[in-house]
Amino acid sequence: MKIKITICLLAFIACFDFQTNAQSVEIVKWDYIENLMNQKSDTLYVINFWATWCAPCVKELPYFDRLAAENKSAKLKVILISLDFKKQLESRIKPFVKDKNIQSQVVVLDEPNYNSWIDKVNPEWSGAIPATLIVGGNTATPLFFEKEFIFTELNEIVKPLIK
């Protein structure tokens, strides 16, 4: 009898997709990024602009997660800002985040008029992605990179900036 109950219980549990590390993804407006850029804290913010359809972006995403994981006790916050359309949140973005097991914070920027905010991130930004903005921590001024990173390069830039 105990074996039957155990087997039934295990079968019941197997039917559910437990998401103990489920990643929530929220939709944000420009003021969210502006607030991050104007932080007066000793936390270093590494803000990466990406999209699910951008191959170089997808390739570098694990490096940002690794950076956050290797510095989890430090004052470092990695934020991945998706430039996918907000209408794709349920159909594309959330499944992508789950499938790739992204652990860093992911938000979707709902500001389709790119020309209204790209120059505010950095006047030199052409709008191409991936792009990364680093603010706070030991940075006197924001650092901006319009390029794809490899982990060692990203780590070499970020490590000295963490307080």
Query: What is residue 132's predicted lDDT score, i.e. its pLDDT?
Result: 98
Query: What is residue 22's predicted lDDT score, i.e. its pLDDT?
Result: 53
| Domain count of the fold of the chain | 1
Residue 105, domain CATH = 3.40.30.10
Mean pLDDT value across residues 35-49 = 93
Helices 151-158 and 55-70: crossing angle, nearest 10°?
Answer: 50
Cα 16–chain centre separation: 27
Quote the domain boundaries for residue 88. 23-161
Query: What is residue 39's predicted lDDT score, i.e. its pLDDT?
Result: 84
Q: Please check whether residue 141 lies inside any domain of the structure.
A: yes
Which residue has better confidence, 20 or 84?
84
d(CA 84, CA 66): 23
- What are the E-state strand segments in the chain? 25-28, 44-50, 76-82, 105-109, 131-136, 143-145
Q: Please check whether residue 10 lies inside any domain of the structure.
A: no
6 pLDDT band, cuts 50/70/90, is very low
Mean of the per-residue pLDDT values of the chain: 88
28: number of Cβ within 10 Å? 18
41 pLDDT band, cuts 50/70/90, is confident
Q: Please check whether residue 84 lies inside any domain of the structure.
A: yes
| CB distance 90 to 4 below 8 Å | no
Q: Please check whether residue 5 lies inside any domain of the structure.
A: no
Rounded to two decimals, the pTM is: 0.85
Taking only the tens place, the pLDDT of each residue in 91-118 is: 999 999 999 999 999 999 999 898 999 9
Q: Please check whether residue 18 lies inside any domain of the structure.
A: no
Which residue has better confidence, 159 or 8?
159
Q: Please check whether residue 13 lies inside any domain of the structure.
A: no
Q: Please check whether residue 14 lies inside any domain of the structure.
A: no
**Is pLDDT of 5 > 50?**
no
Query: What is residue 20's predicted lDDT score, i.e. its pLDDT?
Result: 39
Residue 54's identity, in one-letter code, is C
Indicate the range of 8-12, 36-40, 125-129, 154-158 predicted with least confidence. Answer: 8-12
Q: Give percent above pLDDT 90 in the chain.
A: 79
DSSP class of 24: P
55 pLDDT band, cuts 50/70/90, is very high
Q: Please check whether residue 47 lies inside any domain of the structure.
A: yes
